[in-house]
Structure 1
Amino acid sequence: MARTQQIENHFRQTVSDARNLAATLEQGQAEMPLAEHFGSLIQSLDRRPFSVTLLCLDKPSRERVLKWLYGHQFAVFSLQISGQIGLLEVQLKDKGYAVENSSGSRQEFDTWEELVQVVGDSSGMTDSGGQELTLVTERVNDLKNLNLLLPDSTKFVQESPALLTRILRETNILMVAGHPHYALSEIERGVINDLMAEMEGFWPLLPVDELAEEVSIPENGWWQQVARPKINLPPKLITTHVEAELPGFLTSPENALRQTLQLLLLGRKAETAVEAVNERLSQELRQLESRKKREARKTQTSAALGNDMGFASQLRNHLGDGVSDINKSLQEKARRNDTGTGNAGQQLKQFIDSMHIDDLAMEKGYKSIKLSLSNKYQESLTRFLRDALKNGVKRDAEMLDSELDSLKRSLSNEFKSKTGVEPVLEFDPLNRDGLIDDLASSVNLEMRYQGEMPKRGFFQRLGEARRAAFVILMSVSLLAMMGINLRDNPLIGVIIFFVFVGAFVFTYYGWKREDEERLEKEVSRVREEVLGSSRRLLGELTREKQSRIGDFLERIKKQWQLVLDRTLQDWQQRERQTSEKQSHQSRQRLANIDTLINQWQRQQLPAQKLQGSVSKIVSDCRAQLEMLVDA
């Protein structure tokens, strides 16, 4: 008895320390389940309730054992009917006469048989809907502070893990009631073995009618066909006509076996709860260490965003490459369009090829006629060149606006994806009207002298006729030298006269055709010269246009670069301030986490000591039980 009292005192002190430790761990929480659990263990020890499980193999055994435990006269009951899991809980209470449920309704039992019928009938158990019944009666039996867990059947235990768990958590003595000649089924044997694997004691109850004929106890009864725990109480005969004596560990709260069993049950609960405390400590420390690592990573993130020039350099390269690509694309397009094989070059060649003789101006001189382009043709050619330049400027301006808008979107998206801020990149469109006017004013064709033709009049015609007549005279002279003298022949004079006149008249026809052929050659030459000059002029003006567009792109580049740099600097400044603030907060959180870790680590040693204490309590209780059973 003294040893049991020492174990009890040790248990009280250990559970009290565990409750204080759990209250410290759960401080600040809305609910404190661990501390409340340890408090309930101390209260259970003070109330000294003793719980046992009664598993009845048949209905008559249930009725007989209940009558034996609580007497044939009215005893003091509290009935907890749990229809959902098939469990009836019977508790011994104080004196009185009443039956009340948790809703406040009242019910009375006139006879013991009515109560036994309700308890023994499984349908009566489930009809109560899980309500708690309190029954007080006229007389108090020897049993006090006894909780009896009464499963409805082994089938319920097998099919309900929750029922099995509750039985093992609340009791450590299994009483199994059944007729001595009862034959266990495989299900019943398996359920009993499962229960006794965690139970400390096993007590078979054998209801018999001592006055019946051929009453015998088999040598190998059902109670010997199951596994046996550490405490194996001898079978108890529950006689019908003579009330069997109740054992001391059921009737006396001071019984050493009862107290030790009670301490062992509470000790195992405390052991599980202390394991939960240690697990809570380990879990909290793991969580704090994880939080510390996360905060450390946040602290180590780059706080010097302003010093990171990689993104700024990337933006500058993107902008420079984009502007360069636009300029190259415009130049390539202009080159393809303005060359001889391009659209503008082909149109210029077609326009100049349409030049004819009437487009030439003729200025008569003393001995020659000077040829040049007419003012009308030069004006037409100037208008054509200006229109070609105007169309080119409009085409390039449209392409320029489209390409710049695309580059703007690309830069904005890249900047926003990195910083979350969209820069304001605006640009004034190219002044196409001003550029067109400047280029048009530079179109100046001064092609005053392009060729000449000889001027021939009356005397030149006479000279041409004289040469024809001279040919005849020279022929006559040659014939005279050869001995054929025709000089004195008057017919020669007539012939020379008609040849002279014919040659004079022929000049009007022949010279006209010669002038036309020469004019055609002059026109072809003028076309080539005008085409070459026009192409050179168009090329120079195109290069001037590209130079002006390049200057415009360079201004846009500088303007956008300035906007991007300022926006990036502002963002970096804000990020730097935010980072410094977050770093300060992170350092504070790290300090708080370190404080919490130290606090939790200081609780590890007490928790480990508690684990050793409850383990020692459980082992001491089992040693005491072995000693009591052996005694």
Structure 2
Amino acid sequence: MSRTPQIESLFRQTVSDARSLAATLEQGQAQMPLMDHFGTLIESLERRPFSVTLLCLDKSSRETVLKWLYGQQFAVFSMQLSGQIGLIEVQLKDKGYAFENSSGRRQEFDSWDDLVNVISGHSAIDLTQAQDLKLATERVNAVKNVNLLLPDSTNFIQESPALLTRILRETNVLMVAGHPHYALSQTERTTINDLMVEMEGFWPLLPVDELAEEVSIPENGWWQQVVHPQINLPPKLITTHVEAQLPEFLTNPDNGLRQALQLLLLGRKAETAVEAVNDRLAQELRQLESRKKREARKTHAGNLDNANMGFASQLRNQLGDGVSDINKQLQESARRNDTATGNTGQQLKQFVDSLRIDDLAMESGYKSIKLSLSSRYQQALTGFLRDALKSGVRRDAEALDDSLEALKRSIGYEFKSHTGMEPVLQLDQLDKERLINDLAGAVNLELRYQGEMPKRGFFQRLGEARRAAFVILMSVSLLAMFGINLRDNPLLGIVIFFVFIGAFIYSYYGWKREDEERLEKEVTRVREEVQNSSRRILADLTREKQSRIGDFLERIKKQWQTVLDRTLADWQQRERQNSEKQSQQARQRLANIDTQISQWQRQQVPVQKLQTTVSRIVADCRAELESLAEN
């Protein structure tokens, strides 16, 4: 005796209880998806729809099977859809035609020709943008209230996990149509096996032409090369010229196998839905426990003082680190600027390289000429150093203002994000003019350079000429030692005279070049000394500038710290009062949360009972299917 009516009665009562429980869980929500889902399961039980998946291995098999299911009246029925759709759902109803896309838009037609015209012209429905299509046709044979899901191909199922999930969620019987001698590819075999894992029934359909000369059914056909589920229906030959008889589970809504398969599918959906209810219950309990912990933290007013002390320390560190970073950045910028590759260093080198001989002061002495740096050049160099210090102060003051403004915004944002209040921090300006005047007044150029040039007059030139004549006399004496006596030659006196005169005249030209070369060396030496002295002065005054800026930053830090401490103390006093008030309110909320937790925990027993009952319904349906399969 069939146990399906008893299982169905238990299923109906269980789903009704689950719907009531879901309504309790979702009470107060704008949308109630769990309750609606259980209501849909009850409606499905009333309408008794039977859903199967028809997977056709080739185009001719699809046409043959569709003709067989629809009847010979629809022998020319065909539909071409874009491969992006992937799935056609055909609903066999009493009469008429209807066309529905994924967005829920539905059109009904009185005749088949009207439906074909609309689909062919794409005038009313854009098929390429639909995710799925639903087609309802009139009933012309005994097949009634059957939903037929037609996937586009096995490749599309393999590439679309969403399509595979939908097929497994809505059907539990797989009808596979293919020629008896069809050879399954690896992709087709894998796809069919993936479907078989979750399917309860498998029914191979074999379209054949009974009038063909060679009609044979292989012993090891493609339907025997795949995994078989619990209900393995024998292969059905779909003949071409004589209409094959439809099986009873497609034509009779009261068929036991059909009812068991339908009930098992609905039971598995109910099992999934009850798990969702249990998850929702666990989620609500977790949220309540989390709220309880948050409220418990609010009841401890002492934690506020600890947190505020930590924030005050963090704020002091942030202010101290910020001021220290600003000072380091200014020092690093000054160091880079004053180096040889820096802007000031390059300008100083260019200025010193412009030193010429004319910039040297010459003081004539008794036997030498004293050299020193001219007062005009010293004044120009002093002005250059003062301008360099002035531009450095202004550059540092501008960078200082920008950095302090950024630090002020950062501290104000941090303070406001923590307290909701913005501290009033005064941003004093660095007294640039006073600092510039002090540094400019401290420029004291002291150069220790003292050069010297020899002073040579008329008698020195005679001495130079005498040395040249003396060289000739020595040469004649040496030659006399070797037996060559030129002393008595009257031309010797003339030669010595002209050499003496020539040497005397040449001294005016040669000594001038020597003096110029010596002056160039002196200029090079004075350039090095001027550059070193200037760099030393700039470095000393830059350190003084950084010291003054550091004192200014320290003063700003103390002012801001005083303002922050005072503002934070005022806020802490108000927060302490508010915290005590909130602590009392939190204790009241804790009591309310405990009440809610108790209410939700009382629902755990019914949910567990529902899970047990639904699992038993699924097991009973499987047992009933095994019994029917044996019979």
TM-score, normalising length from structure 2?
0.55
* Alignment partner, residue 36 of structure 1: 36
The alignment-based identity, stated in percent, is 72
**Secondary structure, aligned partner of 1:589:** helix
SS of residue paired to 1:179:
coil
Which residue of 2 is the match for residue 159 of structure 1?
A: 159
CA separation in 2, counterparts of 1:18 and 1:247? 35
Q: CA deviation at 1:567?
A: 7.9
In structure 2, the residue matched to 1:217 is: 217
> CA separation of 1:107/1:253 partners in 2, compared to 1, >3 Å: closer, same or farther?
closer
What is the rounded CA distance, in whole Å, between the counterparts of 1:201 and 1:565 in structure 2?
77
State the Cα distance separating 1:81 from its structure 2 match.
7.2
Q: Is 2:238 aligned against 1:235?
A: no
User: Map of 1:514-593 to 2, 5 A cutoff?
Assistant: 571=571, 573-593=573-593
The offset of 1:216, in angstroms, is 0.5
Contact (CA 8 Å) 2:210, 2:239: kept in 1 or not?
yes
**1:290 partnered with 2:290:** yes
In structure 2, relative to structure 1, the CA distance for the partners of 1:20 and 1:127 (3 Å cut) is same
Checking the alignment, whether the CA contact within 8 Å between 1:83 and 1:129 is kept in structure 2 is: no
The answer for the alignment partner of 2:601 in structure 1 is 601
Partner of 1:197: 197
Letter in 1 for 2:238: I
Against the structure 1 CA distance between its residues 69 and 34, is the aligned structure 2 distance closer, same or farther, given a 3 Å change threshold?
A: same
- 2:53 maps to amino acid: T
1:109 to 84, 109, 112: 112
Whether the 8 Å CA contact 1:81–1:87 is kept in 2: the answer is no
Structure 2 unaligned residues grouped into runs of 5+: 313-406, 427-561
Q: What's 2:496 paired with? A: none
Q: Deviations over 1:350-381 (max 9, x none)?
A: xxxxxxxxxxxxxxxxxxxxxxxxxxxxxxxx
User: Could you say what secondary structure the match of 1:62 adopts?
Assistant: helix
Aligned counterpart, 2:432: none
For the residue of structure 2 that corresponds to 1:215, the secondary structure is coil
| Residues 295-349 of structure 1: CA deviation (Å, up to 9, x unaligned) | 112212417969x99999xxxxxxxxxxxxxxxxxxxxxxxxxxxxxxxxxxxxx
1:266 equivalent in structure 2: 266
Provide closer, same or farther for how the CA distance between residues 11 and 302 of structure 1 changes in structure 2, counting only shifts above 3 A: same
2:249 aligns with 249
Taking structure 1 as reference, are residues 617 and 192 closer, same or farther at Cα in structure 2, changes over 3 Å only?
same
The DSSP-based 3-state class of the residue aligned with 1:141 is coil
Q: What corresponds to 1:66 in structure 2?
A: 66
- Map 1:173-572 onto structure 2 (within 5 A): 173-302=173-302, 571=571
1:14 is aligned to 2:18: no
Change beyond 3 A, Cα 1:42–1:100? closer
Tell me the residue number matched to 1:356: none
1:109 is matched by which residue type in structure 2?
W
Between the aligned partners of 2:208 and 2:309, the Cα distance in structure 1 is 97
- Aligned in 2, Cα 1:207/1:305: closer, same or farther, shift over 3 Å? closer
- Which one is further off, 77-86 or 90-99? 77-86
Instruction: State the alpha-carbon separation in 1 of the partners of residues 5 and 212 from structure 2.
Output: 46
Q: Encode CA deviations 1:275-302: one digit per residue, 9 max, x unaligned.
A: 1111111122112112211211221241
Q: State how far apart, in whole Å, the 2-side matches of 1:571 and 1:13 are.
A: 61
Q: Any idea what the Cα deviations from partners look like across 1:188-216, whole Å, max 9, x if unmatched?
A: 00000000011011110001111111110
- Which residue number corresponds to residue 92 of structure 2? 92
1:143-174: per-residue Cα shift (whole Å, max 9, x none)?
11100001111111111101100000000000
Within 2, Cα distance between the matches of 1:78 and 1:611?
A: 45
Name the CA distance, whole Å, in 1 between partners of 2:15 and 2:225: 39
Match of 1:89, SS state, is: strand
Shift of 1:73: 1.7
Structure 1 position 135, deviation (Å): 5.2
CA–CA separation in structure 1 for the residues paired with 2:220 and 2:27: 57
CA distance in 2, matches of 1:128, 1:568: 60
Consecutive unaligned residues in structure 1, runs of 5 or more: 119-123, 313-408, 426-561
Q: Deviations over 1:533-573 (max 9, x none)?
A: xxxxxxxxxxxxxxxxxxxxxxxxxxxxx999998886554
Task: After TM superposition, give the deviation of residue 95 of structure 1 in Å.
Answer: 2.1
Q: 3-state SS of the aligned residue for 2:112?
A: coil
Deviation for aligned residue 1:264: 0.3
TM-score by length of 1: 0.55
8 Å Cα contact 2:54/2:149 also seen in 1: yes
Aligned to 2:437: none
Shift of 1:575: 2.5
Distance 1:605 1:168, change over 3 A: same
Aligned-pair distance for 1:74? Answer: 5.0
Structure-1 separation of matches of 2:200 and 2:54: 14
Superposed CA offset, 1:559-604 (max 9, x none): xxx9999988865542232012211221122122212211111111
Query: What SS does the corresponding residue of 2:181 show, helix, strand or coil?
Result: coil
Query: What's the offset of the Cα at 1:106?
Result: 5.4
